[in-house]
Amino acid sequence: MGEVFLAKDDRQHSVAVKVIRPELASARSFRNRFRREVDAARAVSGTYTASVLDADPDGPVPWLATTHILGPTLAEAVEAYGPLPPRSVLALGAGLAEALIAVHSAGLVHRDLKPSNVLLSADGPRVIDFGIVRATDGYELTLSGVLLGSPRYMCPEHATGNPMGPPGDVFCLGSVLAYAATGQAPFEGSSAATLLYQVVHGTPDLTGVNAPLDTIIGGCLAKAPDARPSPDRVSAACAPGGADALDWGDWLPEPVAAHIRGQAAALMDLDLDLETKVNAVGREPAHAAALATAPGPGNLRVDPRLAAVQRLVAERSSGPGRVVLPQEPKSVPTHEQPPERPAVQSPERGTHRARHSTRPKPSRRRVLTAAALAAGTGVSALLYSRNSSSAAATPAGPAPEPLWTFRSEPLLQAPAVFYNDTALMKTQSGALFCLGLTDGSRPRWTYQGISQSPTPPLLVSDVVVALGTGATVLGVDAVTGAERYALDFGADFRFDTLLGGAVGTVTIVGLRFDRQDRPDGSRGPATSTNVVLGTNLKARLAQVIPISKQDIGLDLKPFIDAERFVYMDGLHRLTARDGTGRGNVLWSRPLASGSDSRSAPVVLDDTVFAADNELIAVDLRSGALRWRVRQEKGGFASVAAADATVYCTTRSPHGVEAFDAADGSRLWFCETPRLNLDNPLVAGADAVFVTAEDNKDGFYAIDARRGELLWNFTDNRDTGINEWQLSCDTAPGTEHPLIAQHFDKVYALPMPRN
């Protein structure tokens, strides 16, 4: 939603200011959600939460200021120093339970209690981030068909879409305490869907948790909400004498306490460094504007001295609203270091050793330093900025000017789909719209009411097929946008992913629910199973396609035709299944695996190409291996094929490699600046397109024949998790432009021609 800045109020107290990204502030749903967060945070008061000082949810750039809590998040502390000792976990449980008492007393449910939303301060834990709270009176701000929250720390009722009350927060508390005690969440899985399945049906892994923590955590993790203890009982179990009677001055292990001392010293150094620069420039007249309009002490105002600092460093700006200083921040040594722990296995990070650092590891951005004014707010801030790697190749020329640009409401993370001379796209608010490729300045038609599933629509003849809410499949005329049909498959399903299919059928991934009747006639809690459905649109039938247990919940990314369903399975095998309801395995081909990610296989001239540590070419019908190529250093990330050539992105070094589709011979390799390897590459007849690691750096075009870096296109916008989506039409005889989407902008760029 935004960025959090370290700032000063007019009393020179440190505060944390959460600022909504300007491009998100224009979306009503984001602004409503932020306003709800502000109201909730203001309503909650207690020792173990961060107090709200001021806010302006309705301003041009909405912001929220809270007390600044010195200390790492629980996630950062465990990653750097390992699990907390039992006495610290018991104290943590008491403090978090007291925080939940304050939240629930305000008539709210937090719904997103997780390690990154828990700060460890020297005088106790603090719960932060009320971004997806729910009022116990039934008000819920969310999107139809979308679960907001973190799957690893959800409760069963939230995961199945049922109402979540205060007992749901207690379940999340149990998961957080299990993580604090063991370094691992109690439920694990290779995808969000698998995690949700484990949360609903699985047994928590509490290996190594001893009494009394095992009993406390186990009670919190009861599947039935009414079987869980209340927060006051959890607090009493963790601290029989009361949370306020605990010795909070000694509640953390020494490495974490030293980390906090280091943070405090670093903050003092930054203050002194900033003061030195201000004095060097000279003081400015006290004419800075107020940040907040609400009266009363503690209102946030710009320190007038900082105008001089802004002018001092403006020349070193790395972009609008981002100003950085040249030197690295001073490191603050600690006198004691924790002993080195043995390497441990993590499902997310692989084998690693604990970091012995006095600072938590920044999640995505390396620290450069920073003193700046947050764009649109005038808050003096200390910023984190990512250090871009130097270009491994220099573009041959400038990027072309867009043929046209369309400004939309925020778009879903799904590439455009081409139909004749138009492109079809989806928005976050549930709209499907059509732009002409020669002039996309305004939509030819718009259809409202689709789901927020981040998958592109499908074309079945001249009908655009998309998912509606729940278990609804919608058909829209591709020329006029008029609704052709709306098929509802009932309350026993929830559809979330729309895949390809043969004529008249589509393949859908979703959940199937089973609700047992209670003796009193009411419906019991729902259990759910992840399913793949072959859906006959004409007959209005959804038939389950059986898949293996290890494939449940995976992002399948299959190739689908009338006879088969080809995908990378849970054991990293390229597998083809019968596309009918039998789902029999037709053939399976193992790959040398080097990563947990699974790229989508592609098909060209009856050959399937799949990539991991190696690239293989397999006969589509028989599964016979045609050729294979190994990538020795880091493996391949994604694969695309066009015009008798196969292209792969590489991990070490970052770049694109091209192979002859017939025999696998290498054609060329183009090293690039760092890429977003989670995004697929896009191949056209004469160029290949890949997205940069930082989305503000846009994407690159590479000559498909010579392997030369042609140009880099960017709009210089950092849109957070909203990444570039690229599409090009490779149908023979077409000369359609490249369609590039970036959050709320659509750009049409001329395709390179050889």
What are the backbone angles phi and psi of residue 275, rounded to the nearest 5°? -60, -40
Alpha carbons 606 and 588: distance in angstroms, whole number: 16
* List 54, 56, 112, 303, catalytic entry: 112
Tokens of 81: 């120093």
Give the amino acid at 21. R
Cα torsion 338, 342, 345, 351: sign? positive
Clarify whether 214 is annotated catalytic: no
Burial class for 119, CB neighbours closer than 10 Å (0-12, 13-18, 19+): buried
∠ Cα 82 94 168 (to 5°): 90
Long-range (24+ apart) CB contacts under 8 A made by 627-630 are 627/663, 627/664, 628/664, 629/659, 629/664, 629/666, 630/592
Q: Residue 217: in which H helix or E strand, if any?
A: helix 213-220
Mark 410-442 as b/e (b = at least 16 C-beta within 10 Å). Answer: bbbbbbbbbbeebbbbbbbbbbbbbbbbeebee
In contact, 562 and 599? CB cutoff 8 Å: no
Alpha carbons 128 and 289: distance in angstroms, whole number: 28
Q: β-strand 317-319 against 322-323: which pairing, if any?
A: antiparallel
Place of tokens 């209690």: 113
Report helix, strand or coil for 514: strand
Residue 352's CB is within 10 A of a number of other CB atoms, namely: 11
**N-terminal to C-terminal alpha carbon distance within the chain:** 42
Q: Quick one: CA torsion of 100, 102, 104, 110, rounded to 10 degrees?
A: -50
Alpha carbons 566 and 574: distance in angstroms, whole number: 7
Helix and strand tally (H, E) in the chain?
A: 11, 46
Give the amino acid at 343. A
Burial class for 397, CB neighbours closer than 10 Å (0-12, 13-18, 19+): exposed
Tokens of 412: 């879903």
CA distances from 483 to 193, 420, 476, 541 (A): 31, 19, 4, 20
Mark 572-606 as b/e (b = at least 16 C-beta within 10 Å). Answer: bbbbbbebeeebeebbebebebbbeebbbbbebee
Residue 77's CB is within 10 A of a number of other CB atoms, namely: 26
Q: Among all residues, which ones are annotated catalytic?
A: 112
